[in-house]
Structure 1
Amino acid sequence: MKTDQPADHLADATRIVNAGRRSEWTGPVVNPPVWRASTHLYPDTAALFAGGRENADGRFFYGRRGAPTQWALADALTALEPGAAGTVLYPSGVAAIAGVMLTVLKPGDVVLISDNAYDPSRAMGKGLLADFGIEPRFFDPLDFAGYQAAFCDRTRAVLLEAPGSLSMEMADLPALARMAREKGAIAIMDNTWAGPLGFPALQRGMDVSIMALTKHVGGHSDLMMGSASAGPALYERLRQRSQQLGNVVSPDDAALALRGLRTLHLRLRHEADSALTIAQWLASREEVAQVLCPMLPGAPGHDIWKRDFTGGCGLFSFVFKGGSASARNRFVDALRLFGIGFSWGGFESLALPIEPSGYRSRMPWPPAVCSADDRHGVRLAIGLEDPADLIADIEQALAAWRE
């Protein structure tokens, strides 16, 4: 939904509190009500015909195009992404990636996909997109010459993600986006890790910024949703293709996402601070070969993160020094305050054993900063617990790794 509330001069916290709260949507209450409706009624046939001709979001037409609850969320997300003309909502983060790809690509096109992207994005390239006659090419985002060489006259889009999924590499995103633009390709970024508060993707050269709202925006592990924000021309294309694909999000989920959004900046700050504390502690442990956390001074990619990002989140990984997969798994099983599960960005901490080599075509695992024997990793998603308690939990679980 387009926004008519310029707020670039306001601090993030102020924008988050006020975004998406137009009086015509909220009425006399603070939050937009939950509008549950498949059918929208018109006062007369003249209004019916006018509504059909306008063919735009933000006006009552039919339930699939949403109502004030969904419009308010999209409007708020647009206000948080400098340079965005509008935001399209999708039923999941993967649906957002697919919706964007099916908007900007056609049979015969080539799409470049960062080799360390989220595995469902890789699978989409090799499956859905390939089935539609679109050629995926995977590239190492740390190898700029190789990236440049991957372009051809059929390349129409580049999918970026930073830090990389699981292995947390930090690439030079503005340079990668600039090369895409020079080659006439659309730069798309999965910006779920930092979001617009930590990385204003469109301002840094991206054409489309995607988020899995399931993660930080929802914040409570109880909804699935995705979004894509873009400038005027691409936003209109994304909106129309989304409607052609029949995408719609539940108004109840939109209301939950709006609720989560209001505390996003506070939760991100706490998670990032806690993650950095825990990462620093892990870096001092003899059991750990490498902490993969770009926010950590001295860690791979920290200088780029410090240059381009203003924030982060609680998600990072580390690699054990030697050991076996079974030892790594004993460590994860011994954790008491960390759940074992996918996803992240909720209020609770999670741990996940990782082996990225099965999800790479160009990039090595273990990473170059580790020896060949240091390959058994764990991804931690730090929640809102006290970091001292989480450190104590990790310390007691390390005894199980050493058995």
Structure 2
Amino acid sequence: MSEKDHKPATKLVEAGRRKEWTSAPGQKGGVVNPPVWRSSTHLYEDTADLAKGRPNADGHFYYGRRGGPTQWALADALTELEPGADGTELFPSGVAAIGCTLMALLAPGDELLFTDNAYEPTRSIAMGMLERFGISARPFDPLDPDGLAAMIGNRTRAVLLESPGSLTMEVCDVPALAEVAREKNLVSIIDNTWASPLGFPALQHGCDVSIMSLTKHVGGHSDLMMGSVSARKPLIGRIRQHSQYMGQVVSPDDAALALRGLRTMQVRLDRTTSSALEISKWLESREEVSAVLCPMLPGAPGHELWKRDFAGGCGLFSFIFRDADKSSRARFIDELDLFGIGFSWGGYESLIIPVDPGRIRDHHEWPPGIDSGCGLGVRLAIGLEDSQDLIADLERGFAAMRD
């Protein structure tokens, strides 16, 4: 069996551990993990070696801003995990990965269409930063491929997807949307942080570019900031070049942390997915809850698409209160002990933040089955705690709402 035939869990262990990353020249053995190479300056053998220059690709010493073996090992591993990718570029955050990708692939006069349920910083980039550079952006209904096709104009160059939405949790028909983009010769980009390539191999489902916030599942321990972009040629070359123009680089220490987290990602995703499903089923039975926005939950909006396209999930989902004002929601959140109040997710600890869905999906109707789209809600990021302890904590929160 070749390495390309290995299952994802095996790739998580083996990827990015090429001998050139883990052993010294001439040595038969090596170490398990790629060492941390800290260096701003790469030295050449002589002036003739300097004059040859270096290819603009990973695996060749040039200068610290272009990375070294620790960063190359991580990029190599992420490329291996995304079937169909020819390369991966690393960024100091997920937002940096999104912004630099859009700037690399769009030019003044172009138009971007982005999903209406997009992550707030993505919306800010699309509707703010891009406009300053003469690039227009419009949101589209992620659940309407025909509507997307109707919006495409002569200046449209790219489509930005996110599935599920990181707050409202709609699952869109990514293959259908990607096909619409392909037929119109547009680049399809997806923020694939929620499921990662383990749960949704985006390029295999028709996307051209897959973006992840490695801060989340890959890091897994809430102690690093990083993003990645994986794509086929020639797109990855364009993104790499723009990244280098902008001086984007991640530290080798953070790359080593990300490699560490990568090795246990499947185990952590399995655990948080299982706990999230158990907790979402319990929430569904609560009279205080109007809707549970968890695509892994049978009967929930988007579940059939999730079951068709996804091989896995994660611990992130939202729910909407049936009758709550901001004061009662605050009592619910403040009473919790095991759920920290904070942004991000994908770490080992559980988190909660308030969510106002009506403010997020503000250009198109909510999907059928959610009759409280403008109600108040919360987003839960389920960690590695015991699910029964988390349920008991949420029970205390509901009790506090009634006081």
Q: Which residue is 2:343 aligned to?
A: 342
- Give the stretch that moved more between structures: 115-124 or 145-154: 145-154
The alpha carbon displacement at 1:385 in A equals 0.4
Runs ≥4 residues deviating over 6 A = none
- 1:83 and 1:202 in contact (8 A); partners too: yes
Q: In structure 1, the residue corresponding to 2:318 is in which secondary structure?
A: strand
The answer to whether the Cα contact below 8 Å between 1:321 and 1:373 also exists between their aligned partners in 2 is no
Which digits, 9 at most, give the CA deviation of each residue in 1:92-130, with x for residues without a partner?
A: 000000111011100000000100010100000111101
Could you tell me which of 49, 59, 65 is aligned with 2:51? 49
- What SS is found at the alignment partner of 2:190? strand
Which of 23, 32, 40 is the matching residue for 2:42?
40
* Corresponding residue for residue 4 of structure 2: 8
Within a 5 Å distance, the mapping from 1:341-360 to structure 2 comes to 341-360=342-361
- Could you tell me how far apart the structure 2 residues matched to 1:110 and 1:298 are? 36
Identity %: 64
Matches within 5 A, 1:9-158: 9-27=5-23, 28-52=30-54, 54-158=55-159
Matched residue, 2:383: 383
Q: Determine the C-alpha separation between the residues in 1 that align with 2:95 and 2:357.
A: 19
| RMSD value, Cα | 1.4
Q: State the distance in 2 between where 1:235 and 1:145 align.
A: 29
CA distance in 2 between counterparts of 1:80 and 1:234 reads 18
Secondary structure (helix, strand or coil) at the match of 1:8 reads: helix
| Structure 2 Cα separation of the partners of residues 175 and 402 of structure 1 | 45
Residues 194 and 372 of structure 1: is their aligned pair in 2 closer, same or farther, counting only changes over 3 Å?
closer
Could you tell me how far 1:328 is from its partner in structure 2?
1.1
- Pair 1:253-2:249 in alignment: no
What's the CA shift for 1:360? 3.2
Is the Cα–Cα contact under 8 Å of residues 321 and 374 in structure 1 kept in the other structure?
Answer: no
Contact 1:7 1:79 in 2 (8 A): no
**Contact 2:164–2:172 at 8 Å: present in 1 too?**
yes
Tell whether the 8 Å contact from 1:322 to 1:373 is kept in structure 2 after alignment.
Answer: no
Per mean C-alpha deviation after superposition, the further-off stretch among 232-241 and 254-263 is: 232-241
> Contact 1:335–1:397 (CA<8 Å) still a contact in 2?
yes
- Compared with structure 1, are the counterparts of its residues 374 and 88 closer, same or farther at alpha carbon in structure 2 (3 Å cutoff)? closer
Aligned to 1:186: 187
Instruction: Name the CA shift for 1:131/1:227 in 2 (closer, same or farther; >3 Å).
Output: same
Q: What is the correspondence of 1:228-267 to structure 2 with a 5 Å cutoff?
A: 228-267=229-268
- Alpha-carbon distance in 2 for matches of 1:370, 1:98: 32
Greater Cα shift, 367-376 or 386-395: 367-376
Amino acid at match of 1:293: C
SS at match of 1:351: strand
Contact 1:58/1:67, CA 8 A, preserved across alignment: yes
Report if the CA contact (8 A) 2:357-2:375 is conserved. no
Maintained 8 Å contact 2:358/2:373:
no
* Conservation of the 8 A alpha-carbon contact between 2:192 and 2:212: yes
The residue identity in structure 2 corresponding to 1:267 is: R
Task: Tell me the CA shift for residue 372 of structure 1.
Answer: 4.7
Q: Quick check: 1:402 aligned with 2:398?
A: no
CA displacement at 1:50 relative to structure 2: 1.7
Give the superposition deviation at 1:368.
Answer: 4.7
Report if the CA contact (8 A) 2:168-2:293 is conserved: yes
Question: CA–CA distance in 1 between the matches of 2:165 and 2:320?
Answer: 15
- Corresponding residue SS for 2:212: strand
How many Å apart are 1:364 and its aligned residue? 4.1
Q: Structure 1: any 5+ residue segments left out of the alignment?
A: none
Whole-angstrom distance in 2 between the partners of 1:264 and 1:373: 33
Deviation readout 1:330-373 (Å, 9 max, x if unpaired): 101111100000000000000111013333332346x6534459
- TM-score normalized with structure 2 length: 0.96
User: The residue matched to 2:4 in structure 1 has which SS?
Assistant: coil
How far apart, CA to CA, are the structure 1 residues paired with 2:357 and 2:215? 22
Report the CA distance shift for 1:314/1:49 in structure 2 as closer, same or farther (over 3 A): same
Kindly provide the amino acid, as one letter, of the partner of residue 321 in structure 1.
R
User: For residue 8 of structure 1, what is the amino acid of its counterpart?
Assistant: K
Range moving further from structure 2, 346-355 or 373-382: 373-382
